[in-house]
Structure 1
């Protein structure tokens, strides 16, 4: 009797190529959905521009920049960081919408890699981030913001923002898979604003009460904001001098995330990716069982 030949299992490289191909297909699908629903895209692009004008001119006359300088230049890195973090909820809403409307059940019925769906959502968000940062930077230039750090540091700052946005999109993907309902996901948006406000994005942390100051200094939003100020060469960068904060460290030195903001941001980003990439993929797979 001749034994039937065993079916060869696909190699790890073949599975990776399969997942990448399916993921790119879903990225195109997400971008196509934005073209079909331009209202979401327009809102996502106009919101940062409104924030630049609103905060720049409303807060600009009331807040003194540490060490002096233009408040709008101090503000722009904080707005970049705030929009980066609030983008998490856009991914949460899109994933929850697909889950509640049965779209993901249809994806599971197709011969496609299970990891492709979360990778598609997060990949599309990375591309949205490029467009959003471009609009926001253009608005900042109009109101007087400038990057003084040079071409390379400026490019590094934008790459850092995109990397952080990509890592946070995985947090949004996981939340969308967990809540499973677009209405619940929509109500989570107000919970993000306290995180962005309790930071150095809009005001210096030196005058905050001790407990709030410590929280703000170790807030990832503050690290990303400080990193952008440092790379852009804007006022308020930690390299401009120590904080007037006896509780922050010896001789009034800033807390570690503010003294080393780029390293702190990269650390936060790596931590989010390590936790939420496998968590999101595993959650999506388990929902299909």
Structure 2
């Protein structure tokens, strides 16, 4: 078996689970009256961006999971991820935050994906006018690709070291 098969299988399995979860979420939303004002293609593009970000963050999780010695310690990694999700434009516009925090939030990969999906769903929000906010669809692709390019090989290397 290839040394990368374990990590690759984990990433692929998580992507299948994420797609199923997103499908359940979308069907439920449609049943209660949500509609994507950006049309079917816009909605599919938004779902694609969400899955792309999820796929890239899986590799961060796989890599971090192989760094910790016990399952209990791995459970504590949530404390690392929590600020990443909260310091984004998901809940509050970066323009309403203190300057330094707004800068961090605007450049957060989650912010780019949230802004791009809102645009694709046809529900754009007013941005702060920064380059990264104005180019959110581009950055919603660039960020996950960059994260994957860094953490997928790192996770495979780490797994190879652990299996020796």
- Tell me the TM-score normalised to structure 1 length: 0.54
- Among candidates 55, 72, 77, match of residue 166 of structure 1: 55
Correspondence for 1:263 among 126, 133, 138? 138
**Equivalent residue of 2:105, what SS?**
helix
CA shift digits 1:13-68 (9 cap, x unpaired): xxxxxxxxxxxxxxxxxxxxxxxxxxxxxxxxxxxxxxxxxxxxxxxxxxxxxxxx
Residue 125 of structure 1: aligned partner? 14
Query: How many residue pairs end up in the alignment?
Result: 164
Name the residue aligned to 1:273.
148
- The corresponding residue for 2:112 is 223
Q: Which runs of 4+ in 1 moved over 4 A?
A: none
Q: Is the 8 A contact 2:46 2:116 kept in 1?
A: yes
Q: Look up the match of 1:284.
A: 159
Distance 1:204 1:144 in 2: 26
TM-score, normalised via structure 2 length: 0.92
Structure 2 unpaired stretches of 5+: none
Separation in 2 of the partners of 1:134 and 1:157? 12
Structure 1's unaligned 5+ residue stretches are: 1-111, 244-253
Shift, 1:205, TM fit: 2.3
Q: Which entry has the higher C-alpha Rg, 1 or 2?
A: 1
Q: What are the equivalent positions in structure 2 for 1:24-103 lying under 5 Å apart?
A: none
Give the CA RMSD over aligned residues: 1.6
Contact 1:153–1:231 under 8 Å retained in 2: yes
User: RCO (CA 8 Å, sep 6+): is it higher in 1 or 2?
Assistant: 2
